[in-house]
């Protein structure tokens, strides 16, 4: 697709105009010039410092302040950083899952611990981020609140995708675990989930092929697997909760809410509405009896004071 | 895909090199351009956290210098004025300006004059000046469309403005495709000729450097035709999904506004019908009403099955599966509700206005012969109390267009009958604009022997569906182009252009507006793999209401000007 860059022409003309304008403000522009250079540099670097103002150069130029971004931006940046961390941890988790599923001669306890730890960490990060996201509070002006709402939405989408991803990975791991378990033990997993009892009874009756020691080992192995599965199930529940909370914030793609023109319209409408409400509130407040009461009382106070002074003077 | 992907590419390029939090500022036209191709969630992914209109930016006094402003505007004088004011007291940290069409040098100078704080980092021209509503269909959403009907002597002030906007839109299409076309126009239309010549002047003389692209062996073709050559298509009632929704309810920028239709739940009051985002719509947009009903029923059955399985959650596995599939389930639910609502509302309207009855006569008027039968049918319908005025008007107009010369007496009778019902409507104007003398194409297939024979054969064979038997004139035009047999006499070349053989890319621009029936024709033609890619565009997208309004406005303006003269 064709495009055309007109910046060069523009800059040339802008410089020409500036040099024409410069002699008129010779004294002020001396300090205004370098300040403006710095201001444009600082504008792009957000972690900048105090606002600066130029000396009054002329009636047409307003003081150009480089402001700090509002404080909630820090919160949103934190959440974004958390999401990045969670992604890295998920990559580690995938590796740990793969390693745990590989047949090995060891007990595999460390792998399980690692997986548990990682899963717990990720779920924690997600939960914390989600809480912080909810807290991006509702103070500030109307426009700022729009930006804040949009930032919330975008981060919520990322968080939700992450939790869905985590869930999917866990369920594949769980499934593979089931398959593995059915392989060597030949015992159906469903029974394990529903209760220990039936399994124990079976073991007690199976005296062919297994001696005491092996039975104990098998039991231990099964218990461990069961513990893992329970943990996975628990984290599934937690994630489900997080997803439910987030789904309020996330935009449904393909619906009217995802249209740019619809969002501009609703902004305009809500800003107008807000203004109307404010005006109405102002009017009722002005008309209100409270103001009148207060004025009357203040006047009475003054009158009493004057009377008191008079009383002191005369008597 | 080609039009929508061009717009998306432009927007991606605008946003990709600018880091940090951004605010996107659009004007009332570019909002439509951007909204049909890009979604709010995609903007959020690109860190654009606020979208505003350029005229409302001036009203707020807040300074948000941690944001970078990306402006995407049409280069009109009002936008330049707004920009100048905003550059003089800048609210944002950086300003990146993108214009949807060619800037004049004076405009650049004006902006540079106001940019005392030197906040503008770049000015570029990104030629996305059209609304890409479907993969091969674009529109320009022009406000006063009826101007094309007035001859130049009547209206000397608005007409150049109209032509300029059309030329800009066509130029931006070819710039985004990076091609320079051979231009042909419809001989009998002055405005088509004017637009074609001005486009040629722009592409080959004024900005020939900009349009100097790598030449392929076969140049594409731009064909500029006039709506009045086929006035039948916008007057007909439609029975294929997309066209029908536009005819009965109205689609604007792929959005349907159902608020005036009835009491609906809040999330169904405005819906989106976009073939890019909705797979069911993409598969069904060109199907006729009966088939759609069946397909929607199938969709609802599928959905019911899924939701039933969702309700029987017994093990933890089931719960896990449910949580997994929940987002998709929600999306499907919204989609199914949307289509069911649309079809229900349309069925209601069809029932109320007795459109099956009316449409049958319309199709016969448009396609078959038999003047006597037609006259009788139209008279009966005019006498029928439950037919609405607008439907009566359309019937009389269609009859007038078809049997203009055959029996003037009966035509007058119909006019009088219509006038006695509703004096507001004067159907005669359509003949003045689009009568048989003014038309080039063989609209009813009754001009030369070959067409008459073809018509008779079709009549004998019988049609699949009485309600969708009409083929727009555009279909014949496209066939002629495919065979390389578009007559020079009817569609001359501009200047000394010439093309041997068939083009491989054709852009057809209809001055006065396109219809969804025609865009369906184009899409089906493209799908038939004939080796030629057609793109259709117009100044607006018409339905019968809009076309009648344009006729009315045109008539009013013509009359008021003759009164003055």
pLDDT tens for each residue of A243-261: 777 766 777 777 888 899 8
Q: How would DSSP label each residue in chain A? A: --EEE-HHHHHHHHHHHHHHHGGGGHHHHHHHHHHHHHHHHHHH-SS-----------TTPPP---PPPPTHHHHHHHHHHHHHHHHHHHHHHHHHHHHHHS--SS--HHHHHHHHHHHHHHHHHHHHHHHHHHHS-S-S-HHHHHHHHHHHHHHHHHHHHHHHHHHHHHHHHHHHHHHHHHHHH---HHHHHH-SHHHHHHHHH--SS--HHHHHHHHHHHHHHHHHHHHHHHHHHHHHHHHHHHTTTSPPTTSGGG-HHHHHHHHHHHHHHHHHHHHHHHHHHHHSHHHHHHHHHHHHHHHHHHHHHHHHHH-
Question: What is the predicted ipTM?
Answer: 0.80
At residue A130, the pLDDT reads 83
Facing A10 at nearest CB: one of B116, B120, B324: B120
The side-by-side arrangement of strands in the sheet containing B255-257 is B251-252, B255-257, B270-272
CA A93, CA A119: separation in Å to the nearest integer? 7
Does A2 contact B43 at a Cβ distance shorter than 8 Å?
A: no
Give yes or no for residue A26 having a pLDDT over 60. Answer: no
Poorest-confidence range of A8-12, A61-65, B216-220, B262-266? A61-65
Give yes or no for residue A190 having a pLDDT over 60. Answer: no
Q: How many CB pairs under 8 A join A and B?
A: 213
Q: Is B107 on the interface with A (CB under 8 A)?
A: no
Q: Which residue has the tokens 């054709």?
A: B506
Chain A hits for B13, CB-CB cut-off 8 Å, are 3
How close does chain A come to B176, measured CA to CA in Å?
4
**H-helix or E-strand spanning residue B2:** helix B2-16
CA B544, CA B234: separation in Å to the nearest integer? 5
At residue A196, the pLDDT reads 41
Facing A44 at nearest CB: one of B94, B120, B334: B94
CA A289, CA B363: separation in Å to the nearest integer? 71
Give yes or no for residue A59 having a pLDDT over 50. Answer: no
At residue A53, the pLDDT reads 37
**H-helix or E-strand spanning residue B421:** helix B408-421
Higher pLDDT, B295 or A41: B295
Nearest CA in chain A to B122: A7
pLDDT tens for each residue of A164-173: 888 888 878 8
Facing B111 at nearest CB: one of A10, A160, A253: A10
Query: In 10 A of CB B424, how many CB atoms?
Result: 9
At residue A198, the pLDDT reads 40
* Tens place of pLDDT per residue across chain B (565 aa): 689 999 999 999 999 989 888 999 999 999 999 999 899 989 988 989 889 999 887 666 677 888 899 999 999 999 999 999 999 888 899 999 999 999 999 999 999 999 888 999 999 999 999 999 999 999 999 998 888 888 766 667 788 999 999 999 999 999 999 999 999 999 999 999 999 999 999 999 999 889 988 888 888 999 999 999 999 999 999 999 999 999 999 999 999 999 887 788 877 888 999 988 899 999 999 999 989 999 999 999 999 888 887 777 666 667 767 777 777 888 888 899 999 999 999 999 999 999 998 998 898 888 876 788 888 888 888 888 888 888 888 988 888 888 888 888 888 888 888 887 776 667 777 777 777 777 777 777 666 676 677 666 666 666 677 788 888 999 999 999 998 888 889 999 998 888 878 899 999 999 999 999 999 999 999 999 888 999 999 999 999 999 999 988 888 888 887 665 5
How close does chain A come to B547, measured CA to CA in Å?
26
Q: Output the pTM of the full model.
A: 0.80
B251-252 and B255-257 as β-strands: parallel, antiparallel, unpaired? Answer: antiparallel
Facing A240 at nearest CB: one of B177, B323, B330: B323
Chain A hits for B94, CB-CB cut-off 8 Å, are 40, 43-44
pLDDT tens for each residue of A95-123: 888 888 787 766 667 777 888 888 888 88
């Amino acid at each position: 697709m064709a495009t055309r860059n007109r910046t060069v022409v523009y800059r040339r003309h802008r410089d020409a105009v500036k040099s024409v304008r410069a002699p008129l403000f010779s004294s002020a522009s001396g300090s205004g010039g370098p300040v403006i250079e710095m201001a444009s540099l600082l504008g792009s670097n957000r972690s900048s410092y105090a606002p600066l103002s130029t000396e009054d150069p002329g009636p047409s130029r307003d003081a150009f302040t480089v402001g700090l971004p509002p404080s909630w931006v820090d919160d949103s940046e934190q959440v974004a950083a958390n999401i990045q961390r969670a992604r890295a941890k998920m990559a580690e988790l995938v590796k740990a899952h793969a390693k745990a599923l590989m047949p090995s001669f060891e007990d595999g306890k460390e792998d399980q611990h690692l997986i548990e730890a990682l899963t717990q960490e990720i779920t924690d990060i997600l939960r914390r981020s989600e809480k912080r996201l909810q807290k991006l509070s509702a103070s500030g002006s109307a426009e700022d609140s729009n930006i804040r709402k949009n930032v919330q939405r975008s981060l919520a989408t990322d968080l939700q995708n992450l939790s869905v991803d985590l869930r999917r990975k866990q369920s594949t791991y769980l499934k593979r675990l089931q398959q593995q378990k059915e392989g060597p033990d030949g015992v159906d997993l469903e029974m394990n989930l529903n209760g220990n009892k039936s399994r124990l009874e079976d073991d007690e009756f199976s005296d062919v092929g297994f001696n005491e020691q092996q039975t104990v080992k098998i039991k231990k192995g099964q218990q461990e697997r069961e513990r893992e599965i329970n943990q996975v199930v628990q984290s599934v529940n937690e994630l489900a909760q997080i997803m439910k909370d987030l789904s309020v914030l996330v935009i449904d793609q393909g619906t009217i809410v995802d249209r740019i023109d619809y969002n501009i319209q609703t902004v305009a409408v809500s800003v107008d509405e807000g203004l109307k409400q404010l005006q109405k509130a102002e009017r009722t407040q002005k008309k209100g009896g409270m103001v009148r009461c207060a004025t009357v009382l203040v006047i009475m106070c003054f009158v009493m004071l004057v009377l008191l002074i008079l009383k002191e003077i005369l008597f | 895909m080609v039009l929508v992907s061009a717009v998306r590419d432009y927007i991606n390029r605008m946003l990709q090199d600018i880091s940090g939090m951004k605010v996107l500022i659009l004007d009332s036209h570019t909002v439509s351009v951007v909204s049909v191709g890009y979604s709010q969630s995609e903007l959020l992914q690109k860190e654009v956290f606020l979208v505003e209109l350029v005229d409302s930016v001036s009203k707020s006094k807040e300074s948000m210098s941690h944001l970078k402003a990306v402006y995407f505007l049409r280069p009109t004088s009002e936008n330049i004025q707004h920009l100048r004011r905003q550059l003089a007291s800048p609210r944002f940290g950086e300003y990146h300006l993108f214009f949807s069409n060619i800037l004049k040098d004076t405009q650049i100078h004006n902006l540079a004059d106001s940019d005392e704080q030197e906040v503008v980092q770049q000015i570029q021209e990104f030629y996305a000046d059209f609304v890409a509503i479907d993969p091969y269909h674009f529109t320009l959403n022009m406000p006063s469309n009826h101007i094309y009907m007035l001859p130049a002597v009547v209206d000397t002030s608005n007409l150049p403005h109209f032509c300029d906007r059309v030329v800009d839109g066509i130029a931006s299409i070819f710039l985004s495709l990076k091609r320079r076309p051979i231009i042909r126009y419809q001989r009998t239309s002055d405005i088509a000729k004017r637009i074609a010549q001005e486009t040629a002047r722009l592409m080959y003389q004024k900005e020939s450097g900009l349009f100097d692209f790598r030449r392929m062996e076969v140049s594409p073709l731009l064909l500029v035709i006039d709506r009045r050559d086929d006035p039948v298509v916008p007057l007909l009632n439609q029975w294929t999904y997309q066209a029908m929704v536009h005819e009965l309810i109205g689609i604007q920028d792929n959005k349907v506004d159902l608020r005036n239709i009835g009491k609906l739940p809040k999330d169904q009051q405005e819906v989106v019908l976009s073939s890019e985002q909705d797979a069911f719509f993409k598969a069904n947009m060109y199907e006729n009403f009966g088939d759609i009903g069946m397909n929607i029923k199938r969709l609802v059955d599928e959905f019911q099955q899924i939701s039933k399985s969702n309700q029987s959650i017994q093990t933890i596995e089931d719960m896990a599966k449910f949580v997994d599939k929940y987002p998709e389930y929600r999306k499907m639910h919204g989609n199914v509700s949307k289509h069911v609502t649309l079809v229900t509302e349309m069925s209601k309207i069809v029932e109320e206005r007795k459109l099956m009855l009316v449409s049958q006569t319309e199709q016969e008027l448009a396609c078959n012969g038999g003047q006597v039968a037609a006259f009788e049918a139209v008279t009966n319908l005019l006498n029928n109390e439950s037919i609405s005025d607008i439907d009566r008007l359309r019937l009389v107009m269609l009859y007038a267009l078809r049997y203009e010369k055959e029996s003037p007496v009966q035509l007058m009778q119909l006019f009088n009958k219509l006038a006695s019902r509703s004096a507001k409507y004067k159907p005669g104007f359509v003949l003045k604009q689009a009568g048989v003398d003014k038309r080039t194409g063989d609209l009813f297939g009754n001009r030369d022997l070959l067409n008459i024979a073809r018509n008779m054969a079709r009549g004998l064979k019988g049609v699949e569906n009485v309600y969708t038997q009409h083929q727009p004139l555009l279909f014949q035009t496209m066939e002629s182009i495919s065979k390389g047999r578009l007559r020079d006499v009817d569609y001359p070349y501009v200047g000394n252009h010439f093309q041997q053989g068939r083009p491989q890319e054709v852009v057809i621009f209809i001055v006065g507006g396109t219809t969804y029936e025609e865009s369906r024709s184009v899409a089906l033609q493209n799908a038939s793999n004939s080796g030629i890619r057609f793109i259709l565009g117009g100044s607006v997208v018409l339905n019968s209401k809009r076309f009648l309004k344009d006729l009315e406005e045109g008539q009013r303006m013509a009359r008021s000007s003759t009164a003055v003269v």
